[in-house]
Amino acid sequence: MILAEIVPLITSPMGIFLTVMAIILLAPLLLNRIKIPHVIGLIIAGVCVGPYGFNLLGRDMSFEVFGKVGLLYLMFLAGIEIDMYHLKKNIRRGLIFGLYTFFVPVIMGCLGGVYLLGLDWLTASMLAAMLAAHTLLAYPIVSRFGLTKNPAVVIAIAGTIFAVLGSLIMLASVVGIEKAGEFDFILVGRLLLRVLGVCGVITYVYPRVTRWFFKHFNDGIMQFVYVLVMVFTAAELAELGGIEGVFGAFFAALVLNRYIPGRSPLMSRIEFVGNAIFIPYFLIGVGMLIDVKLITRGWNTLYVTAVMCAVAMAAKWVAAWLAQLTFGMKSLERSILYQLSNAHTAVALAVVMIGFQMGLFSQSILNGTVLMILVTCTVSSIGTSRAAAKLKVLTIQKPENVGSKSAGKEPLRTLIPVVNPAGASELVNLALMMNDGRKERNKIYALHVRNDNSLSSRSVGQNSLDTARRIGSIMDVDIRTIERFDLNFVTGLLNTIAERDINEVVIGLHRRSNVIDSFFGEKLTQLIKATYKMIVISRCFIPINTIRRIVVSVPDKAQYETGFTHWVRSIGNLTRQLGCRVVFCATEETAKYIKAVLRTGGYEIRQEYIVFNDWDDFVLLANKIKDDDLLVVVNARRTSVSFNSAMDTLPEFLRKYFAGNNLLVIFPEQFGQKTLSPAITDALSADVETLPIPLWLKVRHAYLDFIHHRRRKRKSGKSPDLNL
């Protein structure tokens, strides 16, 4: 091209990086005006500035490094954003789709290679292995639309791993046959053993090391670097085992998923760096591989390209159609499934380069593969963008989703009193995880109250508020800070609650300063008595994202309190963010209401229920709560419906038996006029399975029944009946 001869090649490191950053900034802005997705826009930009375009940039080592990193990061993000509950729920369907999206392209690829391209069966098998694997190139599109938890998206992600793994095994088999002259079972067996070995090492080592690191190092930058080290270590382990690195990165993401909540500063940093640098670099690098001039190099290249594109896209569509028939999916979900699995990039390039170097593939197939990448990436990006937009509209308009918001029509206003910078970080993270994430309606305030004008007091207050504001900005949440000069802490807090019409207060548990100090302390006791708003009192000894289980103790008649729905949804949000299991200890009647609230709110979380009928059952929890558990105690104010006299001894009991446990004490909103929404009332009519009673609790009940029975016998002068 004439322009390519006039414009000099940029070779300086600063110039290369500046050009790439300018492309990342301008390409989406310009191409979005003509409705081209930003993914394909970056690929087109790579074509233009690459060696086969205007030759502004050469594909040097920086694109090799960042391109590989970007691909690994793309698969890591796909795994880290998966809701593990939905993945486990759809793992069987993901496996079935993985079989479809692997075997259908293999069969069609072999037949097309032999009968349409004139290849022998061995070469056609390698071509089929290339067509079977695909890349989740359009995943950032569904992520921006907030559809990462959609079953079709989860199935596509799970199916991708099975398809890539199957493609690698088939590639190893073909290479073994080519070198040894026959199928080598030992080679394939070794590959499977290496896969199991890599998975075993990551599964066993990563959770233990991650929990230790997060407990001892709370710095956000160090945690981010640690996650990167673990991801690329997994990718390197996979490649050392003869597996594609994307498999290791994805599997590491599934293991680390549990420790990186969706609404956390760490997750925000991971998404920001990936979407701003690594993934765009990878997409531009893909575009630089594409030589559009190949189209003019004879009809043979065009014919090979047309056959490969037709077979590849048709095979993926048939696989998605079979999945639709098998799972009873809608056509729009099938379209999402098809478009996500339609793009071919890294694995296809790796396979075709191996085949070309071995002499199995001709120059025409190499050129056809590059053009196939351009076509499939374009179709996948545009198709995913259109289908995701339609699916988002249908998801919002579903009756159950509309009804699930019925209890949350009133905006939520959360107040977080911060005393020092160290406690501010923990409280803000907890409040954001318990929040439902509706930024446009919910408001979060950070408050620091002081009663003197000393320089040290103002400095501590400003640092605390700056910490809260910084955490909010990292997570793209507007936290409004308030510095208040008032008579005392409680007065300033109550005045702010009244002025801002606060719904809930998230506050830390004070540290006892002397022996006679009470468990809640004088300030919290005054606050609880002075307001009926929901108060969440927190004391966590370990980072909230390392919690393994949440155990919630619920008093009898808690469902009749004004704030019942609010605190149940808050626990549901927290459980969903942590990806852990929640155990509700409540009476059978109260448990029905808890299930109804979670069902109408769409909380698909791992939930268990244990029947607790009296205070003696709560006492037994002291031996059941572990160091990695979070005990949530739902309390009640005096004269409220769910209050009982045993709650007077609760503070002393918590101090004595739960001194070393992570703890949340919730005082729900009480004495208001709110009632349960019609959706929750309707859900109560649904069949509720019998709640399981653990063996230790059955023994406890039997023992109490025996004691009561024996006492009655003694009073009546009769001998006790030992037949229980």
User: For residue 512, what pLDDT band results from cuts at 50, 70 and 90?
Assistant: low
3-state secondary structure 298-355: HHHHHHHHHHHHHHHHHHHHHHHHHHHHHHCCCHHHHHHHHHHCCCCCHHHHHHHHHH
Q: Which residues pair with 607 in a beta bridge?
A: 582
528 to each of 534, 674, 676, 682, how far by Cα in Å? 9, 20, 24, 33
Q: Please give the Cα distance from 536 to 412 (Å, whole number).
A: 14
pLDDT of residue 568: 93
pLDDT in tens, 398-440: 544 444 444 445 678 899 998 888 778 888 888 888 887 776 6
pLDDT in tens, 274-292: 888 888 888 888 778 777 7
Q: Please give the Cα distance from 310 to 300 (Å, whole number).
A: 15
User: For residue 722, what pLDDT band results from cuts at 50, 70 and 90?
Assistant: very low
pLDDT of residue 310: 92
Q: Please give the Cα distance from 222 to 51 (Å, whole number).
A: 38
Measuring CA to CA, which residue among 670, 637, 662, 458 is closest to residue 561? Answer: 670
The H or E element containing residue 523 is helix 521-530
For 450, list phi and psi in degrees, rounded to 5: -135, 155
Cβ neighbours of residue 494 closer than 8 Å, sequence gap 6 or more = 527, 530, 531
Q: Please give the Cα distance from 153 to 339 (Å, whole number).
A: 10
CB 609 within 8 A of CB 599: no
Long-range CB contact pairs, 270-276, < 8 A, 24+: 270/77, 270/80, 270/224, 270/227, 271/77, 273/224, 274/73, 274/74, 274/76, 274/77, 275/140, 276/24
Q: Is the pLDDT of residue 352 over 90?
A: no
Tell the burial category of 563 from Cβ atoms under 10 Å away from its Cβ (0-12, 13-18, 19+). buried
pLDDT higher at 680 or 239? 239
CB 312 within 8 A of CB 376: yes
Number of residues that make up the chain: 724
pLDDT of residue 100: 92
255 to each of 82, 210, 272, 275, 638, how far by Cα in Å? 11, 10, 21, 21, 45
Please tell me the pTM assigned to this model: 0.73
User: For residue 44, what pLDDT band results from cuts at 50, 70 and 90?
Assistant: confident
For 507, list phi and psi in degrees, rounded to 5: -135, 150
